[in-house]
Every structure is written in C-alpha cells, then in structure tokens.
Amino acid sequence: MREKNRIYKVCALIKKPFILLVLLSLLVIGRNVQAEKSNNLDKFKGQHVSVLAINMPQHVAYWNLIPEFEKTYGIRVDVDLVDFIAYREKSLDAMTKNPGIYDIFSVDCMWLAEYVDLNALEPLMPYINNPNLTAKDYDVDDFVPRVFSGTGVYNDIVYGIPIGSGSMGQSWRTDLAADHGLAFPERFDGKWTTTKMLSYAKKLHHPEKGYAGFVTQAARWDWGYTFTPLLYTFTKPENAGSEFFDEDWKVTIGKGHALDALKWYLQLRPYLVPGTANFGYGDTFKAYRGGKAAGTVSYSGWIKGHWEDPTGSKAAGKSVHLHTPVGPHGRVDPFFGSWGVGISTESKHKEAAWIFMQWLTSKKVQLKAITMGANPVRHSTYLSPELKAHLPWYIPLYKHMLEYANPDERPRIAEWAQMSLVLGLYGSMAWMDVIEPEKAIEEMNAGLRKLLKNTGYYNPHIVKYNQNWRDLTYYDRLPSGWK
C-alpha cells in the first residue's frame, strides 16, 4: 500500500492521469513477472537430478560449483564421477540396462551418434526455445558455432550442450630445453614440424638425469585420439577428407599416409618413458607432471588441471603448449575434442534437468569455471580477460575453433568406438614389435572394412551417415538455427 500511495501523490502533483495509469500498469506487470519467475522456480524445488559425469580436471570445476545452484534453485544434484577408461561402458549400461537411473549424461562428441542411435538422449531445442524454461540472457548464439554443433548436433538436431572443448597437441618443458640450447616456436606458426619434434625428443632424452625425451599413451584404447591426429598430419592436402574413407565408404587406411604416420610414430620409442606400451591417459599425465619426461602428448583441456597445477606438477610454469607437429606435406592437424551434457530420454525430471544444464552452461558459470580450469566454449569467454589471465594457451585456439577445427576428424558415426579399438589393436602390436608396421596397416584396413560391412555400410538399401567432414561449413550454422 505504501508503494501505491507514493504513486498517487506523484500523479496528483504533476496532474497527469495518464502517468498514473502507466505507473500502475508497470507496477502490476513487474509484480506479475516476479510472481511468474517465483512460480517457475517453486515448481522445481525439492526435485532431484542425477548426473553421470566424466571425471576430468576441466569438468570438476563445474561439479564443484553445484552447491551454488542447489542453494539458488532448491534442486538437489547428485553427481556420479567416473574415470575416462570406464565411462563409456558405464554410460551404455545405464542407458540400456537401467534406463532412467540418470537424468543427465556427460557426452563425449565421439559417442554422440552411438547414444542417439540408442534413443538415449532428449532433443534440446524445445527446451532452449521455451521462454518459460530458458532465460533470455542464456544467449545460445554466444556458443562458438563449431563447438556447439560439433559437441551436440546429430542429423541437424541438438542433443547436447558443450561444457568444454579443445584440441590435441603437445606440451614441452622449456627449462629442460634451455639447458640444452633449444627453444620452441610459436603455436601455429608452421615451424613445429614432425622432423623438428623427433629431433627434440632425441636431444632431450636423458634417462641418466631422470627424464625421457617424450611420453605418449600407446595403450590400445588411446590410439583413436593419439594416432588419428598423425593420420591427418601425414595426409596430402589434395586427399583431405579421405583420411579414413572415400566418398563411397571404402577404407583408405592402407599404404600411404597411414603407414607413413605409423612409421614416424614408432620412431619415438627409443626416447620414451619406460612402459609406454601400456600407458593410458592417467599414466601419461602422471609421468609428465612428475618430471619424468621433457615432452608429452597433450589435450588443451588437461593443461590447467594437470600440467599447470602449481600444487602437484613439476612442469607448472615451465611448459610451452604447442599443436601436433606439421607433417611433411605442410598439413596441420585440425583436431577437435569436446564434451557436453545431455538429458536422458528416460529422465523423470527433464525440465529440472534442463534448469540445471542451463545454469551449468550459462555465461556466468562458464566464466567462473574457466578460472578453475574449465575449457571455453562461448565467444564471450574466449574474449574475456579471465581467459587471458587463467588459460592463456587457449587464446590461439579461438581462431582454430572458429575456422579450422574439424568436429568430424574422428568420424562421428556410431561405430567410432569399435574403429578406435581396431586401430589400437594393430597399432599396439606394431608398437611392441609383434608385427611389422606394414602388416599392422594391412590389418587395420581389413578390420575396418569388416566392421563397415557388418554394420551395413556397403548395403545400397541402408541409409548412411552424412560425411559432413567434406564440407565443414555444415558446422558453422548459428546455434539457434538447429532443430
């Protein structure tokens, strides 16, 4: 009543009844908006959302912020953290054997097709476009287009929202290099080549001083994302797009770029940390951050939480972060990696799950999360002072993600996980000298052909996936333009 009385007095003084009507209308509208907002929040209070989440340092930043969400929205969020090596199997078990046990899944861009083919993920544009569920300032077009589409779009439909994206590359100890009179070029300047990289691994291999020249992950499961960049590096520009298949899905891994890549990769073995044949992601980062190697294969998302962690890394403040080296034909690997979050089709709390996902991927939370190691996925985050202060190695990746990154570098088909295992089986056999590299490539080719034949790719009556990697403008659509 006091508020209304003030309005009456003002209108009486200026003697303009029209203003009285306007002010009263604004008061009613404002109260209605507040009531509507309150009601929208109230209907979700007390609900419970469960998340099956990947346990990686760049994502833990988000999970650590959940108490802020719970306090504001009154929705309880439980997170089941699973290490990378076990995540895919557990997610598939949850989707097929215990549907509905989780409301939200972490989604690797490489497993999106597989999950959608299982009808496990909910289309998200109806939620994004619902003004009763999504705030105006969510600004879906602030997401970098290739990051958004490369993470969560499948057959033109949005199934996932990105929470972190980056590129494969390498990290090297600048202090150890300086001890031997070596320096590193700038990222993406074209001077970091396969020839130079191999020579640096050799020159920086000093086991007598407690460190090897390099460390990589040669275990079978990891070949899909550590060997694949080399396939692109060694492919001639005129053959771009046919690194794995031609336009008719004929397997192109044979003598040529694949054999050249494998032979080069095998040349690293004398300069590696002992035991690398069995190394996966965890072993590799422990070796580099523990000071056991001068260089390492690296994903940009790991850098903050692993390499540059001043509390546990001997490499912190002493590393340079580069791209995968330029190959003999001048080609730079266009690697794209990304994780997102998606809603289970079997969720009983889909709207509450979206409220949480919307908050998790909002501008405000993204900006806060990158200060703790999360990866940028929005234009505004890439252009922020926070990025420069906390993740400076991401600055040159903005142009890469806008113009060069290939979301389909590892073909986004439901069979990718099996393809990766075929590469790893024969690649690791060559690594351990069980078979010659020529035989390994021959077996990779045969294994991939058999896989594609068994899954119908050579059946003219079965509709195939679109080979969107042949025209990357497919991924450049504004996020709001997808279905």
Domain residue ranges in the chain: 49-165+339-403
Nearest C-alpha neighbor of 91 from the set 339, 400, 391:
339
Distance CA 200, CA 229 (A): 19
Closest by CA position to 203, among listed 230, 185, 175, 176: 176
**Cα–Cα dist 148/407, whole Å:** 10
CATH number of 49-165+339-403: 3.40.190.10
Place of tokens 């980056």: 166
Buried b (16+ CB within 10 A) or exposed e, 124-159: bbebbeeeebeeeeeebebbbbbbbbbbbbbeeebb
Strands (E), 181-263: none
For residue 341, what is the DSSP state? E
Structure tokens at 414: 């439901």
Question: DSSP label at 338?
Answer: E
Q: Return the half-sphere exposure (C-beta side, CA atoms, 13 A cut-off) of residue 354.
A: 23
Task: Give the DSSP letter of residue 294.
Answer: S
In the DSSP assignment, the letter for residue 191 is -
Residues 175, 183 contacting (CB under 8 angstroms): no
What is the chain's pLDDT, residue by residue, as a tens digit (483 residues)? 333 333 333 333 333 433 333 333 333 334 333 333 434 667 899 999 999 999 998 999 999 999 999 999 999 999 999 998 899 999 999 999 999 999 999 999 999 999 999 999 999 999 999 999 999 999 999 999 999 999 999 999 999 999 999 999 999 999 999 999 999 999 999 999 999 999 999 999 999 999 999 999 999 989 999 999 999 999 999 999 999 999 999 999 988 999 999 999 999 999 999 999 999 988 999 999 999 999 999 999 989 989 999 999 999 999 999 999 999 999 999 999 999 999 999 999 999 999 999 999 999 999 999 999 999 999 999 999 999 999 999 999 999 999 999 999 999 999 999 999 999 999 999 999 999 999 999 999 999 999 999 999 999 999 899 999 999 999 999 999 999
Confirm if 197 and 325 have CB atoms less than 8 A apart. Answer: yes
Nearest to 382 by CA among 144, 123, 136: 144
pTM score: 0.89
The secondary structure of residue 241, as a DSSP letter, is T
